[in-house]
Structure 1
Amino acid sequence: MKRALLAVLVLAACQPPPGDAAPAQQTLVFSGVPTASSITTQQTFLPIITMLRRETGVEIRVQEPTTYEALVEGMRDGSIDIGAFGPQSYVVARERGARITPVSAQVKEKGAPPSYRGFGITHPDSGIRSLPDLRGRKVCYADRLSTAGYLYPSAALREIGIDPLRDTVPVFTSGHEATVLAVANKQCDAGFAFDEMVDRHLVERGQIQPGQLVKIWTSGLIPGAPLAVADDLPEPLRQRIVSALQSKATADYLRANGFCQGECPVGDATAWGYSGVDDSLYEPVRAACRRVGWNSCTPG
């Protein structure tokens, strides 16, 4: 119903307005997976959201995420229009029937492929040196729908005969920031999180200090976190969103056009920006789901 009404009312907004007339305003909803509790989605994506408002002439409301599941279900039921996913949560949303398309994915540096890595971490006093040492230990995982925080580590653990749910004492923290801090503060013996949260975010904020963490595992390359757009948005509006996210959601463009200043990190991985992708980029994630079993990959 929401999108049907939007389709009728925003057609004028998606056409060049006559003279100086302002386009009709309607509201789209932007949300994302929760990776940190100290920085909101509004703060993380503000330059992109502000740029999209100008490009589309449509107001964009940010819905702060509560869980990965909330984003998946919000895009499936049509209450969210643009989603900043993790790779696994995107795959799960599609698997559950969400009519969405990934249009761009995070790129750390200009010209680099859209990808990142996950780390397994511990604290120096844990006695843990590698993945086999996690058997029977208290391990923090970000979320059952987190790629670097659960899926890829789960696949690696299963390859050496460790079931993360039965052979470790699992703690799901609901975010990468919480996982890293729990390990640094010795509330968990070990944990898994995406690379920038370990190497950069919390270090730059002064929340962890050198020597507090030890890396025990590094994943292979993981396809970059996608921005996905609802397929049933009015087509002229949808095309404006897609074009903007594929060509203007970069630090260079956003800085040059006054949407941010200085370093202008874009997205939750301190990325340079986003580059165009399609669904095929996420085949390695589906392969990981097959290795751990779809029931484990798509809980709920």
Structure 2
Amino acid sequence: MSRLPRRPAAAVLGVAAAFLMAACGQSAATNTGNAADGGGRNPDELVLAAVPSENAQSLQQAYQPIISLLQKETGKKVRFQSATDYAAVIEAQRTDKVDIAQYGPLSYVLAKNSGVKASPIAAQTVTKGAEPGYKSYGITKAGSPIKSIADFKGKKICFVDPNSTSGYLYPKAALLQAGIDPAKDITPVMTGGHDASVLAVNSGQCDAGFAEDSMVDKILIDKGQLKPGDVNTVWKSDVIAGSPVAISDDLAPDVKAKITDVFQNKANVDYLNANGFCATTCKAADDAGDWGYVKVDDTFYAGVRKVCATTKDKQCTAS
């Protein structure tokens, strides 16, 4: 059964921070084609990248229905490019190696802050008609004496990635609000993935940790890697703006219009299933997949910028 891609997570435990795309190959900017439709790049091939998830192969499989849809609607080849970490996607779009990027909320804000010329066109939503959004969870192993985020002080705490919204930024803000200095009062561990963070807590490698809600509530349970009740959720964030797709501003207007139409009107399980883009059936929200994408713009991420202002995190002001 096919599935739509989940909200972005990081890759695997211990992934190295790197500002390079894996096997990035030819820059998207060098394949300019004929920009006779109003100026801008009009490449023969579009490159789509996403901040990493469980592993590169499963992530590409998850995006395959959307890749096929983009190819049909744009008349262009679409290549999925795997990335080494969150920062790799930012750097790749900055250097015109990526035309369409699936970010997390924070990594999108960081991309804009660091000068990436791209605009959000849509964000992922779990349920049709619902505003795109999700939550960060603070978790402990079942039976732990830690009952609230205030008890995280002095403990070994698992995070996901410094550029992760639900796996780092919102948790850091919550720790500060609880009177805990993340630089002095805890021992932080960057696991590289939401799945890795949860599993490290469950195995006892960390006393507590943070991850996106769906990784705790459903994904790892569905995979058989976690049993209901193995971990306790002792903290939940406010709703975080859904993960955006951003397209490069220097693409030709006609190309941007076609990509925008795909994500705002067609990249959802209803359309993909009805038009044969899924090998069997694309999964909906109640079957471990998101429903699809809905229209957003830059102002939708004001909440993330507000949390950045609270944490004063260096990533938020990267240039």
The TM-score, its normalising length taken from structure 2, stands at 0.84
Q: Secondary structure at the match of 1:8?
A: coil
**1:226 alignment partner in structure 2:** 244
Alpha-carbon RMSD: 2.1
Equivalent pair of 1:33/1:84 in contact (CA under 8 Å): yes
**2:283 alignment partner in structure 1:** 264
**2:268 alignment partner in structure 1:** 250
Question: Is 1:286 matched with 2:305?
Answer: yes
Q: Offset at 1:144?
A: 0.5
Equivalent pair of 2:109/2:316 in contact (CA under 8 Å): no
Question: Is 1:171 matched with 2:196?
Answer: no
From the superposition, tell whether residues 43 and 50 of structure 1 become closer, same or farther in structure 2 (CA, over 3 Å).
Answer: same
Equivalent pair of 1:123/1:183 in contact (CA under 8 Å): yes
From the superposition, tell whether residues 299 and 291 of structure 1 become closer, same or farther in structure 2 (CA, over 3 Å).
Answer: same
Equivalent pair of 2:31/2:43 in contact (CA under 8 Å): no
| Correspondence list, 1:10-21, <5 A | none
Equivalent pair of 2:133/2:239 in contact (CA under 8 Å): yes
**1:20 alignment partner in structure 2:** none
From the superposition, tell whether residues 46 and 173 of structure 1 become closer, same or farther in structure 2 (CA, over 3 Å).
Answer: same
Equivalent pair of 2:71/2:77 in contact (CA under 8 Å): yes
> 1:198, 1:63 → 2: CA distance?
27
> 1:298, 1:289 → 2: CA distance?
9
Q: Offset at 1:25?
A: 8.0
From the superposition, tell whether residues 177 and 208 of structure 1 become closer, same or farther in structure 2 (CA, over 3 Å).
Answer: same
Aligned residues: percent identity?
43
Unmatched tracts of structure 2, length 5 or more: 1-25
Q: Offset at 1:265?
A: 4.5
Picking from 89, 100, 113, the partner of 2:107 is 89
> Residue type of the partner of 1:173?
T
> 2:220, 2:318 → 1: CA distance?
29
| Correspondence list, 1:25-36, <5 A | 26-36=44-54
Q: Secondary structure at the match of 1:30?
A: strand
Picking from 60, 77, 81, the partner of 2:95 is 77
Equivalent pair of 1:118/1:149 in contact (CA under 8 Å): yes
Q: Offset at 1:82?
A: 0.7
Q: Offset at 1:196?
A: 0.9
> 1:4, 1:221 → 2: CA distance?
36
Question: Is 1:63 matched with 2:81?
Answer: yes
> Residue type of the partner of 1:180?
V
> 1:165, 1:132 → 2: CA distance?
15
Equivalent pair of 1:140/1:182 in contact (CA under 8 Å): yes
Detail structure 1 runs of 4+ shifted over 6 Å in the superposition.
none
Question: Is 1:42 matched with 2:60?
Answer: yes
Q: Offset at 1:99?
A: 0.4
* Count of aligned positions: 287
Q: Offset at 1:44?
A: 2.1
**1:295 alignment partner in structure 2:** 314
Q: Offset at 1:252?
A: 0.1
Q: Offset at 1:228?
A: 0.7
From the superposition, tell whether residues 144 and 298 of structure 1 become closer, same or farther in structure 2 (CA, over 3 Å).
Answer: farther
Q: Offset at 1:2?
A: 4.7
Q: Secondary structure at the match of 1:73?
A: helix
